[in-house]
């Protein structure tokens, strides 16, 4: 398989008083679509979502490693959703990007919500993947949550392999290749991960302590796609239904058999749903899912 990072331009950028490792795809190519600004999950480096950027090659795509994650230097002082959303705007300014479609997965889905609320003028549409409204959420499987909070899952491959299905659901580990043989989706995903520093991981956890978007979501007028897996052990489906009930112009898509990593295990369905949403006419009237 080709390396999705091979087509990325990766640089270290000093923005908002922080040095961040930034990856960009296709920003220099003409496109009928605004670029995508992507916020990753907790502790996850750019490479974890690079396959999605390569799939959406008809538009620009930009994301960065959070401080202390991937190859971004360790943070000196903590940050929160407000300061990191502002830092993201400084990064967009650096590359001359005015308006973006904003996407986020899990922890990054909360960041995506906050960015859209804080910087609505720069946000066209929103895609929320396997995420919640923050502090007001229905928690997942305790066995999965305790392992999720343990950075050992990034450092110890045996720990990750042993608890992969508990953490992410079985779909990615059980998927089949085109020839009917077991695919290597799980091993490929694990090989793309780089462990965060302990401080980087802790600061990322602390950044959302006490945060919730619930009071503000009824005022979020951006067309929003909410994607959830019905076998997600970390973020149960009910959280997507809560978001769908609160965001006026939102649509909920449920990926059957999808765990927390359905974006990778159910790639074709996920990419189609994202494309359908981002390429739909700008009528501002997405249907509410039942």
d(CA 144, CA 282) in angstroms, rounded, equals 39
Query: What does DSSP say about strands 36-39 and 18-25: parallel, antiparallel, or unpaired?
Result: unpaired
Cα–Cα distances (Å) from 227 to 8, 86, 272, in that order, read 26, 25, 12
Minimal CA–CA distance to 23: which of 53, 43, 44, 1?
A: 53
Q: What angle do CA 201, 56, 91 make, to 5 degrees?
A: 50
Rounding to the nearest 10 degrees, give the CA dihedral for residues 66, 58, 94, 199.
0
Under 8 Å between Cβ of 59 and 124: no
Tokens for 146? 């305790």
Q: Does the active-site annotation cover 106?
A: yes
Minimal CA–CA distance to 4: which of 62, 59, 63, 54?
A: 54
Among residues 72, 85, 106, 250, which one is catalytic? 106
Kind plus residue range of the DSSP H or E element containing 246? helix 238-246
In this structure, how many other beta carbons lie within 10 angstroms of the beta carbon of residue 32?
Answer: 7
Query: What does DSSP say about strands 18-25 and 9-15: parallel, antiparallel, or unpaired?
Result: antiparallel
Active site residues: 106
């Amino acid at each position: 398989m080709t390396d999705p990072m091979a087509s990325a331009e990766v640089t270290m950028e000093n923005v908002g008083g922080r040095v961040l490792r930034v990856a960009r795809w296709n920003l220099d190519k003409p496109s009928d679509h605004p670029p995508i600004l992507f916020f990753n999950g907790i502790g996850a480096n750019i490479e974890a979502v690079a396959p999605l950027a390569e799939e959406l090659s008809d538009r620009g795509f930009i994301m960065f490693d959070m401080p202390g994650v991937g190859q971004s230097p360790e943070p000196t002082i903590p940050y929160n959703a407000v300061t990191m959303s502002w830092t993201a705007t400084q990064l967009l300014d650096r590359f001359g990007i005015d308006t973006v479609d904003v996407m986020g997965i899990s922890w990054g889905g909360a960041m995506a919500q906050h960015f859209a609320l804080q910087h609505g003028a720069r946000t066209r549409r929103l895609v929320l993947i396997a995420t919640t409204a923050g502090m007001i959420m229905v928690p997942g499987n305790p066995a999965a949550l305790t392992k999720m909070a343990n950075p050992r899952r990034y450092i110890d491959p045996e720990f990750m392999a042993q608890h992969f299905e508990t953490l992410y659901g079985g779909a990615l580990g059980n998927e089949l290749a085109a020839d009917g043989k077991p695919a290597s989706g799980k091993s490929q995903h694990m090989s793309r991960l780089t462990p965060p520093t302990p401080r980087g991981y802790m600061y990322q956890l602390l950044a959302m302590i006490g945060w919730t978007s619930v009071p503000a979501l009824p005022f979020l007028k951006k067309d929003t796609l909410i994607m959830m897996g019905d076998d997600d052990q970390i973020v149960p489906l009910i959280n997507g239904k809560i978001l769908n009930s609160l965001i006026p112009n939102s649509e909920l898509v449920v990926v059957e058999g999808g765990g927390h990593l359905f974006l990778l295990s159910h790639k074709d369905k996920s990419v189609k749903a994202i494309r359908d949403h981002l390429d739909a006419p700008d009528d501002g009237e997405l249907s509410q899912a039942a």
